[in-house]
């Protein structure tokens, strides 16, 4: 059946009205600052990240040298990270609460202590410019909690690094998404550089992060042009290093070569780590170290498989002050 001329005119007019409406909406959208809505974060239950193994399980550093990346899964080996606070507001101090559950949905209440803690919690923004290493407290019912104050809106990832109690239990790193509401302004992470500054300290990085092959990363701490030779133990070592892969935020938790009191490891200025990148790509390294009773965080951008970090000609980057450690 023919629509006739009058119908054709009406269709053309309707299409023109739609075009005008959508054109106006686009213009309004471009004129308003982007806002991160307080919507539920995307689920990552179906990710197939590699498990993080720690066959030692006794608080020592053995078994971490060739540790694959983790944190891509919310559930693994019968355990699930249940994040009770999936969204917070930028700049507002909030109690972050979560529970680790077993296959039967019961809260886990028994853990092996590793590096002085039952569980290590890391919160990082998707652009890897904001980082927090927190140590939450556990209630008798298995609920973990810690205050958190994140400065910028956007997508974040929460990592729970722990080993359940029990013979043969392996270290796990589970990850869940966290939405931080507020006006969003994208920020690019610093370019690769051989040195960075934090809280008046300068930290130099030498070595290569290589895909599929263990390599040494050596970090040297100085202040006011003088090497720091009296670093204090922190989490059972003179330094604590976390590596996150840009893009999917795969988590690589490495530990130093040697430890305080072993008769060979000096308290600075150098801290040596052995690490293996799970793939090529860009990574952010976050080094925590303690000096004069305070914990400081130095961050680096590195590319796996590139020239040694100490030879990178890029200028030194200034690290954002990483407060909120919760120690």
Return the pLDDT at 307.
Answer: 54
Domain residue spans in the chain? 75-183, 195-318
Q: Among 155, 88, 80, 81, which residue's Cα sits nearest to residue 121?
A: 81
206 touches 88 (CB < 8 A): no
Do 75-183 and 195-318 share a fold? yes
Return the pLDDT at 48.
Answer: 30
Q: Among 83, 123, 87, which residue's Cα sits nearest to residue 100?
A: 83
Confidence of residue 115 (pLDDT cuts 50, 70, 90): confident
Mean pLDDT over the full length of the chain:
79
Return the pLDDT at 94.
Answer: 97
- Within 13 Å of residue 131, how many CA atoms lie on the same side as its CB? 24
Let me know if domain 75-183 sits in CATH 2.60.40.1930.
yes
Is residue 52 over pLDDT 70? no
Report pLDDT digits (tens) over 239-291. Answer: 999 999 999 999 987 878 999 999 999 999 999 999 999 999 999 999 999 99
Q: Which residue has the higher pLDDT, 270 or 22?
A: 270
Task: Look up residue 91 and give its DSSP letter.
Answer: T
What is the architecture, at CATH level 2, of domain 195-318? Answer: Sandwich (2.60)
- Is the peptide bond preceding residue 269 cis, with omega within 30 degrees of 0? yes
Return the pLDDT at 254.
Answer: 83
Pairing between strand 143-148 and 94-101?
Answer: antiparallel
Report pLDDT digits (tens) over 69-91. Answer: 799 999 999 999 999 999 999 99
267 touches 230 (CB < 8 A): yes
The mean-pLDDT minimum among 49-53, 97-101, 225-229 falls in 49-53
Return the pLDDT at 306.
Answer: 65
Return the pLDDT at 271.
Answer: 97
Specify burial of residue 202 (Cβ count, 10 A radius: 0-12, 13-18, 19+): middle
């Amino acid at each position: 059946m023919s629509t006739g001329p009058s119908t054709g005119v009406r269709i053309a007019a309707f299409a023109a009205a739609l075009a005008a409406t959508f054109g106006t909406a686009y213009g309004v959208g471009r004129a308003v600052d982007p806002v991160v809505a307080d919507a539920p974060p995307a689920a990552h239950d179906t990710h197939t990240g590699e498990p993080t193994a720690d066959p030692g399980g006794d608080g020592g550093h053995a078994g971490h040298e060739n540790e694959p990346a983790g944190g891509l899964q919310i559930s693994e080996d019968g355990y699930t990270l249940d994040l009770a606070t999936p969204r917070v507001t930028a700049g507002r101090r909030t109690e972050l609460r979560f529970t680790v559950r077993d296959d039967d949905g019961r809260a886990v209440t028994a853990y092996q202590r590793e590096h002085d803690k039952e569980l290590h919690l890391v919160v990082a923004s998707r652009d890897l410019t904001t980082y927090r290493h927190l140590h939450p407290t556990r209630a008798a019912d298995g609920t973990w909690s810690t205050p958190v104050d994140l400065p910028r809106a956007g997508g974040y990832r929460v990592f729970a690094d722990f080993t359940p109690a029990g013979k043969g239990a392996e270290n796990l790193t589970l990850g869940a998404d966290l939405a931080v509401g507020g006006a969003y302004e994208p920020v690019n992470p610093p370019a690769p550089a051989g040195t960075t500054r934090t809280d008046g300290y300068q930290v130099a990085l030498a070595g290569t992060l290589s895909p599929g092959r263990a390599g040494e990363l050596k970090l040297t701490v100085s202040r006011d042009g003088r090497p720091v030779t009296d670093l204090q133990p922190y989490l059972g070592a003179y330094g604590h290093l976390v590596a996150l892969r840009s893009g999917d935020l795969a988590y690589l938790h490495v530990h130093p070569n040697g430890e305080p009191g072993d008769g060979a490891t000096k308290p600075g200025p150098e801290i040596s780590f052995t690490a293996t990148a799970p793939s090529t790509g860009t990574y952010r390294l976050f080094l925590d170290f303690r000096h004069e009773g305070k914990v400081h965080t130095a961050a680096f951008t590195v590319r796996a498989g590139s020239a040694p970090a100490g030879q990178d000609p890029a200028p030194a980057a200034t690290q954002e002050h990483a407060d909120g450690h919760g120690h």
